[in-house]
């Protein structure tokens, strides 16, 4: 990284950060870069200094939103400033959902509101084209279709990624331009969004083997 800044994994206290950290280190090593530039922290000061932010998180939208807005919203402000400056951001799972405004799951909770729209739960009792029951959570490997060539450059053309989630983002009509990738689970849902140097995905690149490491390599290249 030109300015020596770190790739900071934002610790909001939800989910397994170690696996994201490990996969980022592997991606950096594969790019011939120093794995030590990855750091996990919840210190807003370190977030403000970061060259790139990675926001993972598994669990509830409400818990994530609460953590970001705690202590006068120091974390939310640091992330917001980072995004406003269009510095590289990778959201994973909750790190995607929290970019939106609200969630069915947590009535009063507010996300970062970077994109207009909400977060909705998969309906129970969905079936696929063969009439087979689709389960919630949506768990396992599924394909992501990029919506444009520019997004295929980082998502691949039809790569399989590992998903574990019951909720998905629903951008409002005015925000549909952010949709970078779609996946089928009882109909198509938004599985990736992008805007400038912001990328966010519903799946787990850190658990998606070669396809996931390739995505993380593309991210750390952009974070140089």
Catalytic residues: 93, 204, 206
Q: Which one of residues 7, 10, 12, 23 is an interface residue with other proteins (CB under 8 A)?
A: 23
Check residue 149 for interaction with other proteins (CB under 8 A).
Answer: no
Is-contact 208 161, C-beta < 8 A?
yes
Beta strands in 42-174 (DSSP E): 52-55, 89-92, 102-103, 117-121, 138-143, 145-146, 160-165, 167-171
Check residue 70 for interaction with other proteins (CB under 8 A).
Answer: no
Tell me the DSSP string of 16-59: -HHHHHHHHHHHHHHTTS-GGGEEEE--HHHHHH-SEEEE---S
How far does the chain reach from its first CA to its final CA, in angstroms?
4
Check residue 35 for interaction with other proteins (CB under 8 A).
Answer: no
Q: Which one of residues 128, 150, 196, 224 is an interface residue with other proteins (CB under 8 A)?
A: 128
Identify the three-state secondary structure at position 201: strand
Min dist CB 207 to other proteins, Å, is 5
Per the listing, tokens 């549909």 go with 176
Q: Which one of residues 163, 167, 168, 203 is an interface residue with other proteins (CB under 8 A)?
A: 163
Cα angle 56-62-67, degrees, rounded to a multiple of 5: 60
- Neighbouring CB atoms inside 10 A of 144's CB total 28
Count CA within 13 A, CB hemisphere, residue 163: 26
Check residue 148 for interaction with other proteins (CB under 8 A).
Answer: no
Check residue 208 for interaction with other proteins (CB under 8 A).
Answer: yes
User: Which stretch in 69-77, 98-106, 110-118, 200-208 sits in contact with other proteins by CB under 8 A?
Assistant: 200-208
Q: Which one of residues 87, 184, 195, 197 is an interface residue with other proteins (CB under 8 A)?
A: 184
Per the DSSP assignment, residues forming a β-bridge with 170 are: 118
Output 34 or 81, the one with its CB closest to other proteins. Answer: 34
Check residue 156 for interaction with other proteins (CB under 8 A).
Answer: yes
Output 50 or 155, the one with its CB closest to other proteins. Answer: 155
Q: Which one of residues 162, 170, 195, 197 is an interface residue with other proteins (CB under 8 A)?
A: 162
Per the listing, tokens 């599924």 go with 142
Min dist CB 212 to other proteins, Å, is 6
Where on the chain is the footprint of other proteins (CB under 8 A)? Answer: 16, 18-19, 22-23, 26, 58-59, 124, 128-132, 134-143, 156-160, 162-164, 183-185, 206-214
């Amino acid at each position: 990284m030109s300015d020596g800044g770190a790739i900071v994994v934002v610790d909001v206290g939800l989910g397994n950060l170690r696996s994201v950290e490990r996969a980022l280190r592997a991606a950096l090593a594969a790019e011939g870069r120093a794995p030590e530039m990855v750091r996990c922290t919840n210190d807003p000061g370190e977030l403000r200094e970061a060259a790139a932010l990675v926001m993972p998180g598994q669990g509830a939208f409400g818990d994530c939103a609460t953590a970001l807005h705690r202590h006068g919203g120091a974390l939310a402000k640091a992330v917001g400033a980072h995004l406003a400056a269009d510095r590289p951001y990778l959201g994973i799972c909750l790190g995607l959902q929290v970019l939106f405004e609200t969630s069915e799951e947590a009535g009063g909770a507010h996300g970062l509101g970077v994109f207009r729209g909400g977060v909705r739960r998969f309906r129970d009792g969905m079936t696929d084209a063969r009439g087979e029951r689709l389960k919630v959570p949506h768990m396992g490997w599924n394909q992501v279709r990029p919506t444009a060539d520019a997004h295929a450059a980082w998502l691949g053309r039809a790569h399989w990624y590992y998903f574990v989630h019951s909720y998905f983002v629903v951008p409002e009509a005015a925000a549909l331009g952010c949709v970078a990738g779609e996946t089928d689970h009882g109909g198509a849902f938004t599985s990736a969004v992008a805007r400038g140097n912001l990328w966010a995905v519903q799946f787990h690149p850190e658990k998606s083997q070669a396809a996931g490491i390739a995505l993380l390599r593309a991210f750390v290249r952009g974070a140089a």
